[in-house]
Amino acid sequence: MVNCCGLVSEKNQPVPLKSISVELQVRDHVASVSSCLQYVNEEERPLEAVFVFPLPADAAVCHFSARIGEQEIVAEVQDKQSARDQYDDAVSSGQQAFLLEESEESSDVFKLSVGCLSPGQKASITIVYIIELSVQADDALRFCLPAVLNPRYTPAVSAAGVPEVSSASVIPYTLSLSVEVRSSDRISKLESSCPLDPLEFLDAQHTHAKVNLSSGHRFDKDVELFLYYENSHHPSAVVEAGASVAESGSLMGDPALMISLYPEFPADVMSSLASQGEFIFVVDRSGSMGCKMHHGNDAQMRIESARDTLLLLLKSLPMGCYFNIYGFGSRFESFFPQSVVYSEDTMEEALKRVKSMRADMGGTEILQPLKHIYSQPCYPDHPRQLFIFTDGEVWNTKEVLDLVKSHVYSHRCFSFGIGEGASTALITGMAREGSGHAQFITGTDRMQPKVMQSLRFALQPAVDNISVDWSVPEGVTVDMLSPSINTLFQGQRALIYAQIKGQSSGQTEGSVTLKYRLKDQPVTNQLQFTLKPAEDTGLTIHRLAARSVIRSLELQERAGGADMENIRRRIVELSVQAGVSSAHTAFIGVNKDSKQTVKGPLLQRRVPVARMMGAFGGPGMNKCGMAPRMMRRSPMQCDIQSNRMRMECDSVSFKKGMAPRMMRRSPMPCDIQSNSMGIECDSVSDDCYEAEAEPQKDPLLQLISLQKAAGCWELNASLAAVFGKTEDQVTNQKAVQVDGSVWATVLALIWLYAFKSDQQVEWQFVAMKSASWIRSQKPNGLSQCVCDGNALLGCQVTEDMLGI
């Protein structure tokens, strides 16, 4: 394990990474990212620098090179073990060598080793990767340059895990970022979580633009960019010419095709959302869920935001469905032994338990609760929908994804990454393998709107019998490279990669037809495309297609079977041929002209990345001036038995009057039985664990909390208080013939549409349930009731707006 003070040399000199400059080039919804890392050896003897860093899980790393002085060494992709052997041999013989490899446990963590830099020598490392930009709830395309690498929680029973990484309170290198966007569609705007210079358009049509990150940015948090096009749902097809040096008939030698489809479901089908289903909400209750959502003064605790979100979800469920709620950490628990029918009684019981949920369950072990859920029988005619909320990362990401995939035909999985540093491999992987949808809640994002969008996806009618048909000229065939499409959501992009084989005598047009059944109705979406390759795309589409095939092969390999060795061989062959990373390959570059005599062992310096352990540089810093470590064994032991705590610690800082809370993400033995736990840690940042102040009651949440499971409200003082009225004022305006619950429900709907229209995505299902309940009552004098309600609340909302 790495000692926290190992980030500086014996003479207290900083680590050798000085700066990172990133060039981002976006073509429609595909991004090419080139990162240049500047190293310098300030030691008095040869140095090896190790940098463990995050990349997006779906990125295809396709270039790795190093420049030392005037000499450039371009790395090549090789079998991972062969590349490691070459690196070790080169470094031990005094040659400069560079190794880039993907973690075997998680596809979003990479380790870069820079070996045998001479004293005073500088090295410039360039890493290039390509990625598809994800579509957000507001149709923005999201790019995230991750800076934060949360340590993976590793149970004591396992010695495996991602590479150890150092963290620091002040990141000793800076970031510069330039962005260039080219699009076939008009660019509306570009926003970011970090300060940007003004967006500069380079053409009159606003299809070409550039922007830079404002200078002086410390790379201590993720850099998020949100790109908006005017017609974001426009389907497209791009054909890319094969590499001239590649063998004809191979993936890299033949033209490659990328299809982007945006299914639009019939309005009459989408107007009636499903009233059946089993909804299981799985909430991370590990220690870091006690951290704030962001660094602003008004930030909620993550667990507090999760509680508010569960309130919305519980109030939005349809009557007659099934539901359950799990909390997990080092152990897990469920509200009910098995999913129960949604009713007023079960909803109220669940809400009482939600109010008492705390971030008090230790580490982040998600595998066991998932196994327990999947062991429960499904209910006929109630499709299982799994909602998973976590801010963490786990050491066994691939094992978790394999488990989700093995149950893909019995459920859909919707995942939510909370806070910066949540694992993209875990969050996007669970949604992908579970035929669901992934969302990330970072910065000042509110959790509720994103979760409610996913609930809409879960409530939409199931799509089945999905097929893809091709129509191409004679002599041409199309081989699908993407996995079969097994889920579609309204307005969400579906990507298809394919290889075009053969030659056409004259025709240059083709088409792809997507067919499926939606609520027993056949639906067809068709797209025409040209077979003529686009210009200036390089091999971007080929490499993304190769990455897609490699990931599918890796899943097959982990599933086991007699053909594993042949699958591994195919992964290595395709990775080497396409020049993209995989679990079984690595980039290796050796400067064979740099041989020097090495006396004694090389110094090893681990380059720090930012970690979300609370505010950087806060009162929880240890005596090295660094953020506390959670992944190494330490001199603090806590035994909690019968509410007694014994601590031995060398550097623990707590705010005055605060007691330490249980930790997460440490390689600790956690056996929670009879209130006893053994914990190993070394230094606890209390910024995450401030006592939760009594929250200001949000009027919207207050109103929703008063709604009954059936969708109605009761006429009482609590409801009147939301409107800023007394109970008498509200009651006296009610017409004699109108039932009190109908009057209360109409008022609630009017208030929502009049005063909370900007948050409609959060209360849309609450309102739909209310309107349905009112219609079921068939009340007399409803029009007059709406008029009286408008008069009381000072609004002008129509019956049509209310949907009643």
The answer to whether residues 38 and 18 touch, using CB atoms and an 8 Å cutoff, is yes
Helix (H) or strand (E) run with residue 349 in it? helix 344-355
Q: Sorting pLDDT into bands at 50, 70 and 90, what band is 680?
A: very low
CATH code linked to domain 274-459: 3.40.50.410
The answer to whether residues 425 and 417 touch, using CB atoms and an 8 Å cutoff, is no
What is the pLDDT, as a whole number, of residue 609? Answer: 54
- 691 is written with which tokens? 């006592």
CB atoms within 10 A of CB 214: 13
Q: How far is CA 174 from the centre of its chain?
A: 25
Determine the 3-state secondary structure of 241 from DSSP: coil
For 127-179, write each residue's pLDDT tens digit: 999 999 988 877 889 998 877 554 444 444 444 444 444 444 455 667 889 99
In the chain, where the domains are located: 6-156+171-231+585-590, 242-262+463-533, 274-459, 710-802
CB atoms within 10 A of CB 728: 10
Strand partners, 292: 301
| Average pLDDT rounded to a whole number, residues 6-31 | 69
**Strand order through the sheet with 223-229:** 134-135, 141-145, 223-229, 187-192
For 599-631, write each residue's pLDDT tens digit: 444 555 555 555 443 332 333 333 233 333 233
Angle at alpha carbon of residue 438, lines to 209 and 162, rounded to 5°: 95
Residues 6+ apart with CB under 8 A from 345: none
DSSP states of 175-212: EEEEEEEE-SS-EEEEEESS-BPPPEE-STTS-EEEEE
What is the pLDDT, as a whole number, of residue 579? Answer: 95
**Strand order through the sheet with 60-68:** 71-74, 60-68, 122-132, 30-40, 17-27, 174-182, 208-212, 200-201
Q: Please give the DSSP secondary-structure letter assigned to residue 285.
A: -
CB atoms within 10 A of CB 151: 26
Whether the model pTM is above 0.95: no
The answer to whether residues 35 and 123 touch, using CB atoms and an 8 Å cutoff, is no
Angle at alpha carbon of residue 352, lines to 349 and 356, rounded to 5°: 140
What does the alpha-carbon distance between residue 635 and residue 492 come to, in Å, rounded to a whole number? 50
- Residue entry with tokens 């664990």: 689
CATH of 242-262+463-533, one of 2.60.40.1230, 2.30.30.280, 3.30.70.270, 3.40.50.2300: 2.60.40.1230
- 519 is written with which tokens? 């609520």
Question: Is 274-459 the same fold as 6-156+171-231+585-590?
Answer: no
Tell me the residue length of the chain: 804
Strand partners, 280: 324, 386
Q: Is the pLDDT of residue 687 over 50?
A: no
For 489-515, write each residue's pLDDT tens digit: 877 888 999 999 988 777 889 999 999
Strand partners, 496: 259
Q: Please give the DSSP secondary-structure letter assigned to residue 550.
A: H
For 708-725, write each residue's pLDDT tens digit: 999 999 999 999 999 999
Residue 536 half-sphere exposure, CB side, CA atoms within 13 Å? 4
CATH of 6-156+171-231+585-590, one of 3.50.50.60, 2.60.40.1730, 2.40.50.140, 2.60.40.150: 2.60.40.1730
